[in-house]
Amino acid sequence: MATEFTAFMRSALGSSASRRLRLTAKVPGIVYGGEAKPELIELDHNALWHALKKEDFHSSILTMTVGAAKSQVLLRDVQYHPFKQLIQHIDFQRIEASKPIHMKVPVHFVNQDVSPAVKLSAAVVNHVLSEVEVKCLPKDLPRYIEVDLKDLKAGESVHASGVTLPAGVALVFHGRNKDVVFATASMVKEEAAPADGAPVAAAEVAASKQKAPAAAAAAPAAAKPAAKKK
């Protein structure tokens, strides 16, 4: 189900008007795309702040209510204050049911704990991609791309060619290698140990502690001034 939010029309333009709007805990925004003209909107800051914490708000088709009208939009850009927890501006794009859209969606990894890499080899699984861009019709937009790691073995990788995509969805990489790596499984290299079995780091610390008292005892003797001759 699409995430819903409420916006309000605004008429004032310019940076001064936007600053005054922010002082009232509102966020200026714009809606563009489609056959209609761009619309200037404002949203409640606190409600928007909490909505932006939800994953679906960034990667799903949103239902925007302005007065009595509802429209389907995508979140396209959010501008934050450089150091304060404030939203400065937000952009939405209208969608058309018959036109493909490009959208970044999160990647969800499943069955990692039961994979041979983890269960049999105690390998470390590295998630290389956290999100990917997809191209599809609005009705086919997935909430996320699922990557199944149940067959992943130590020393192996999961590539884009091995990921099952929902019907009507294609990955977009913009000139990058189309068979990119989603995840890898590698063995942890054990730290070398000296002959007595103690870790190298521990042996070095012990040696430095033995040298420290001798150096401390020598320091006062070297610093003591020679006795004056009478």
Q: Count CA within 13 A, CB hemisphere, residue 94.
A: 14
Summarize pLDDT for 14-42 with one digit per residue, the tens.
Answer: 888 889 999 999 999 999 998 889 999 99
3-class state of residue 160 by DSSP: helix
34-38, 62-66, 157-161, 170-174, range with the lowest pLDDT: 34-38
Q: Mean pLDDT across the chain, nearest whole number?
A: 86
**The residue to which tokens 């033995």 are assigned:** 210
CA atoms within 13 A on the CB side of 138: 16
- Give the per-residue pLDDT at 196: 55
pTM of the model: 0.75
Least Cα distance to 171 among 138, 140, 143, 136 occurs for 136
Question: Buried b / exposed e across 68-89, counting CB within 10 Å, b at 16+?
Answer: eeebbbbbeebeeeeeeeebee
54-108: per-residue pLDDT in tens?
A: 999 999 999 999 999 999 999 999 999 999 999 999 999 999 999 999 999 999 9
